[in-house]
Amino acid sequence: MSTVASRRPDAEPVNYLNVEHGWKSWLFTTDHKRIAVLYLISITLMFFVGGFFAVLFRINLLEPEGIFAPETYNRLFSMHGIVMVFFFLVPSIPATLANFLIPIMVGAKDLAFPRVNLLSWYIYVVGAILTMYAVFRGGVDTGWTFYAPYSSTYSNSYVLAAAFGVFTAGFSSILTGLNFIVTVHKMRAPGMTWSRLPLFVWSNYATGLIQVLGTPVLAIVLLLLAFERIAHVGIFDPNIGGDPILFQHLFWFYSHPAVYIMILPGMGVISEIVACFSKKRVFGYNFVAFSSMAIAVLSFVVWGHHMFLTGESVYTGIAFSFLSFMVAVPSAIKVFNWTATMYKGSVSFDTPMLYAFGFIGLFTIGGLTGLHLATLATDIATHGTYFVVAHFHYVMVGGMVMAFLGGVHFWWPKITGRMYPEAWSKFAALIVFIGFNLTFFPQFILGYLGMPRRYHNYPPEFQALNVLSTAGASILGVGYVIPIIYLIWSLKYGPKAGPNPWGATGLEWEIQSPPTTFNFDETPTVTEEAYNYGPVEEVVG
Amino acid sequence: MAETIVPVGEEPSAEATHLRHHFASPEQQMDAATLGMWTFLITEVLFFGGMFASYAVYRNIYPEAFASTSQYMNVILGGTNTAVLICSSLTMALSVRAAQLSQRKPLIWFLILTMIFGSIFLVIKGFEYHDKWVEGLVPGLHWGGYPEHPEFAHHAQILFFLYFCMTGMHALHMVVGLGLLTYLLVQGVRRVFHASYFAPVEMIGLYWHFVDIVWIFLFPLLYLIGHRR
């Protein structure tokens, strides 16, 4: 009897999840959807590892004198940064949602290089294991930036293992970006022109460009750092004429563009969500698409604003300051156009849209405070303070993590075929929003008042705001645990979603949920622009 | 003699072109492979670019110390290696052509020649490294203190580190290239490549040419700094 005939009549149709079973079918898969799920599990684990460190150092900051030893505190915030930046934020949306969706959105059966895609996941796992090895041996105390000569000469922590972990994970990021670039160029279905691509694809294409152009520089600078630490060759050692500032230049040449690797995919998610839950075409599609490209290009010429305090020439500083202001233009275009999309749209308040609202507001605060830091004079006062911490987390947590959660909820029915519980998810979104603001808004005030970052203790007058921040962090933590519970619950008990629960446009909503292994029965032909929502009905009364 | 596997005038089968399931046509597959390889090479440019940038910075700060190192560089061996690599690029280009024309034996011989040239390069490089070790010019591991120009001892150390780092990374890419060529040779012997399927030969050829071009920049920057006068 064949397997097809033995299926019960009410059994689920064949899809990418039930087509094969067993661990081998997952570890040796080349299906972009299964690899996306593998990535989703891995980065979620790393997110909670990074969050665990945050919990510990927020506890330390409850008391002005600190609770842990200073050395322990240094290791906690360093490991938090390294794990969150390189193992959660950088791969978060590209390796999971975009990995799942880009081939479907452009009408292809898979990414251009499926085996390379699987390889990138294995490389990521190796990098994560190396970094976890550093953690279990006692961690790193250099901060996530690995600044020389502290990291190369003086630090007594596991710098090499962590740096090699980051070095390795970088290659996984390069391979993901390379795959996206080639897929978008060469794998589009007939009729899927560049101006018909969903904005999510545009933003991940721009991300891919940054990953491909920036990450190799991080690789080489970490390699130079490793040589310096192992053999003391002198390249970053000022004692023999080496230049530690060169390390900072090379590091930020990657790491500033890297923050756009972290935020651009989130912007793509928000474009999709806002269009769907306003039932309107994204206002100014071309501007939103090209603003992603503008951000990608500008991201490579602003790194010097991390180095205003290194004694770089004032003319260099002015140039970098001006260029950093320029990045605000495409970012603002996006915010204005999302807002204009909602104007006179048929706006509904489903969970993904709640996260999108959160993103737009918090990203705006994070972006505008970035202008304070791009300004030479105010940066000198605020650069070493919690103001920078708050700014960065408003963009990365208030922006990217919100977008990630919004995207996971938006496409959860497509990925799993099940709906999540609506009431719980709205409740969790609210908790996340409240917890986030309680955690990080006090840090703006602390920074403005002059509390320096990266210290394990602080003057007693800052205690109230620090306690508020720690209280907010625990609320935020609860907000992150609730979705884990109900999303896992929904895998078994969630109602069946159907192909298009949101009434959204786009190729991914025209196929079954979950999709089959090759996504489409036959290659689709695209005849209309993206977000082709009908006219919005006027509600009378 | 040329051997053809796919008869002229017939559409090659999916097995013969190694068409993978997610591509619509062999042309699309070839286009994707080509763009993927060029994108990968761009990442390599940026990777080496970090070292070239460091070189530019330090040479700008310490021009005399950098020029003083040229007397320790063996221009004869370096020049020979440049010639060897250019020859290997020629034989690599000829093996791609042989694959495109379904000529099995020329493909195999040109691949073997390319591997011989590549190995000669690495052997000569090994002798140069050995000389540097004997002379105490290896920063961090065997540094003799640069007795002839003690005033440049520190700064010349940076140049010698960059020398080992850049040529070492280049040599590592050569070793990887030799591994890839071995794979091509085995596949070539097995009659995998022909006019309808030669993508691996062309892609690895692109990689090989890239590695050669890196050397074309390394040679003058590292060997000829002090030879201007």
Tens of pLDDT, residue by residue over B144-166, are 888 888 889 899 999 999 999 99
Which helix (H) or strand (E) segment is A319 a member of?
helix A314-342
Shortest CA gap B170–chain A (Å): 13
Angle of CA points A83, A89, A94, to nearest 5°: 135
Query: In the 8-state DSSP scheme, what is residue A189?
Result: P
- Residues in B closer than 8 angstroms to A243, CB to CB, are 57-58, 61
* Position B8 pLDDT exceeds 80: no
Selection from A393, A493, A375 nearest residue A438 by Cα = A393
Contact status, residue A234 vs residue A241, Cβ threshold 8 Å? yes
Reading the block at residue B92, the tokens are 């690599």
Selection from A407, A390, A355 nearest residue A472 by Cα = A390
Contact status, residue A359 vs residue A392, Cβ threshold 8 Å? no
Alpha helices in chain B (DSSP H): 14-17, 26-61, 63-68, 75-100, 104-134, 153-189, 199-223
Contact status, residue A346 vs residue A279, Cβ threshold 8 Å? yes
Chain B interface mutation, best of A210, A220, A253, highest count of B Cβ atoms under 10 Å: A220
**B94: Cβ contacts below 8 Å, ≥ 6 apart:** B106, B110
Q: Find tokens 């999840």 and name the residue.
A: A17
Instruction: Write out the DSSP string of A345-401.
Output: S-----HHHHHHHHHHHHHHHHHHHHHHHHSHHHHHHHTTBHHHHHHHHHHIIIIII
Coil, helix or strand at residue A66? coil
Selection from A175, A255, A234 nearest residue A208 by Cα = A175
Alpha helices in A187-313 (DSSP H): 199-231, 244-278, 285-298
Contact status, residue A97 vs residue A409, Cβ threshold 8 Å? no
B22 contacts chain A (CB < 8 A): yes
A233 contacts chain B (CB < 8 A): yes
d(CA A531, CA A198): 8
B86 contacts chain A (CB < 8 A): no
Selection from B199, B196, B189, B180 nearest residue B102 by Cα = B196
* Inter-chain residue contact B50 with A233, CB threshold 8 Å: no
Q: Find tokens 């599990």 and name the residue.
A: A41
A185 contacts chain B (CB < 8 A): yes
d(CA B177, CA A23): 34
Angle of CA points A477, A481, A482, to nearest 5°: 120
* Inter-chain residue contact B43 with A178, CB threshold 8 Å: yes
Residue type, position B72, single letter:
Y
pLDDT for res B10: 61
Shortest CA gap B93–chain A (Å): 25
B87 contacts chain A (CB < 8 A): no
- Residues in A closer than 8 angstroms to B51, CB to CB, are 220, 224
Q: Nearest by CB to B53, from A110, A187, A250: name it.
A: A250
Reading the block at residue A21, the tokens are 């079973």
ipTM score of the complex? Answer: 0.92
A215 contacts chain B (CB < 8 A): yes
pLDDT for res A523: 92
pLDDT for res A1: 38
How far does Cα B39 stand from its chain's mean position?
Answer: 17
Selection from A101, A97, A51, A99 nearest residue A77 by Cα = A51
* Inter-chain residue contact A243 with B61, CB threshold 8 Å: yes
Paired strand residues for A143: none
Q: Nearest by CB to B49, from A217, A227, A249: name it.
A: A217
**A90: Cβ contacts below 8 Å, ≥ 6 apart:** A169, A173, A258, A261, A262
Which helix (H) or strand (E) segment is B137 a member of?
strand B137-138
Contact status, residue A80 vs residue A23, Cβ threshold 8 Å? no
pTM: 0.94
Contact status, residue B35 vs residue A182, Cβ threshold 8 Å? yes
List, for residues B30-70, the tens digit of each pLDDT value: 999 999 999 999 999 999 999 999 999 999 999 999 999 98
* Inter-chain residue contact A216 with B57, CB threshold 8 Å: no
Domain boundary assignment for chain A: 27-509
Reading the block at residue A321, the tokens are 């300051």
pLDDT for res A9: 57
* Inter-chain residue contact B22 with A109, CB threshold 8 Å: yes
A191 contacts chain B (CB < 8 A): no
Selection from B51, B222, B150, B142 nearest residue A232 by Cα = B142
Closest residue, chain A, to B56 (C-alpha): A246
Selection from B32, B52, B21, B73 nearest residue B165 by Cα = B52
Paired strand residues for B137: B143
Contact status, residue A120 vs residue A34, Cβ threshold 8 Å? no
* Inter-chain residue contact B154 with A186, CB threshold 8 Å: no
* Inter-chain residue contact B47 with A243, CB threshold 8 Å: no
Closest residue, chain B, to A250 (C-alpha): B50
* Inter-chain residue contact B165 with A174, CB threshold 8 Å: no
Closest residue, chain B, to A238 (C-alpha): B154
* Inter-chain residue contact A186 with B35, CB threshold 8 Å: yes
Closest residue, chain A, to B30 (C-alpha): A186
Written as tens digits, the pLDDT of chain A (541 aa) is 344 445 555 677 899 999 999 999 999 999 999 999 999 999 999 999 999 999 999 999 999 999 999 999 999 999 999 999 999 999 999 999 999 999 999 999 999 999 999 999 999 999 999 999 999 999 999 999 999 999 999 999 999 999 999 999 999 999 999 999 999 999 999 999 999 999 999 999 999 999 999 999 999 999 999 999 999 998 999 988 899 999 999 999 999 999 999 999 999 999 999 999 999 999 999 999 999 999 999 999 999 999 999 988 999 999 999 999 999 999 999 999 999 999 999 999 999 999 999 999 999 999 999 999 999 999 999 999 999 999 999 999 999 999 999 999 999 999 999 999 999 999 999 999 999 999 999 999 999 999 999 999 999 999 999 999 999 999 999 999 999 999 999 999 999 999 999 999 999 999 999 999 999 999 999 999 999 998 876 655 4
Closest residue, chain A, to B47 (C-alpha): A216
* Inter-chain residue contact B46 with A109, CB threshold 8 Å: no
Shortest CA gap A112–chain B (Å): 7
d(CA A271, CA A199): 6
* pLDDT class of B227 with cuts at 50, 70, 90: confident
* Position B2 pLDDT exceeds 90: no
* Inter-chain residue contact B154 with A232, CB threshold 8 Å: no
Other beta carbons within 10 angstroms of residue A202's beta carbon come to 25
Q: Which CATH superfamily is domain A27-509 in?
A: Cytochrome c oxidase-like, subunit I domain (1.20.210.10)
Q: Give the CATH number of domain B29-227.
A: 1.20.120.80
- Give B61-93 as a 3 state SS string: HCHHHHHHHHHHCCHHHHHHHHHHHHHHHHHHH
Shortest CA gap B208–chain A (Å): 19
Reading the block at residue B140, the tokens are 């961090």
* Inter-chain residue contact B54 with A185, CB threshold 8 Å: no
- Give A28-55 as a 3 state SS string: CCCCHHHHHHHHHHHHHHHHHHHHHHHH
* Inter-chain residue contact B53 with A221, CB threshold 8 Å: no
Contact status, residue A200 vs residue A254, Cβ threshold 8 Å? no
* Inter-chain residue contact B43 with A235, CB threshold 8 Å: no
Paired strand residues for B143: B137
pLDDT for res A342: 95
Domain boundary assignment for chain B: 29-227
pLDDT for res A311: 86
Query: In the 8-state DSSP scheme, what is residue A495?
Result: P
Reading the block at residue B114, the tokens are 């390319």
Which helix (H) or strand (E) segment is B142 a member of?
strand B142-143
**A33: Cβ contacts below 8 Å, ≥ 6 apart:** A16, A99, A100, A415, A514, A515, A517
Closest residue, chain A, to B154 (C-alpha): A240
B54 contacts chain A (CB < 8 A): yes
Cβ pairs A/B, distance under 8 A: 113
Reading the block at residue A362, the tokens are 């918090």
* Inter-chain residue contact B40 with A178, CB threshold 8 Å: yes
Q: Nearest by CB to A235, from B20, B21, B54: name it.
A: B54
How far does Cα A116 stand from its chain's mean position?
Answer: 21
B127 contacts chain A (CB < 8 A): no
Contact status, residue B126 vs residue B81, Cβ threshold 8 Å? no
A520 contacts chain B (CB < 8 A): no
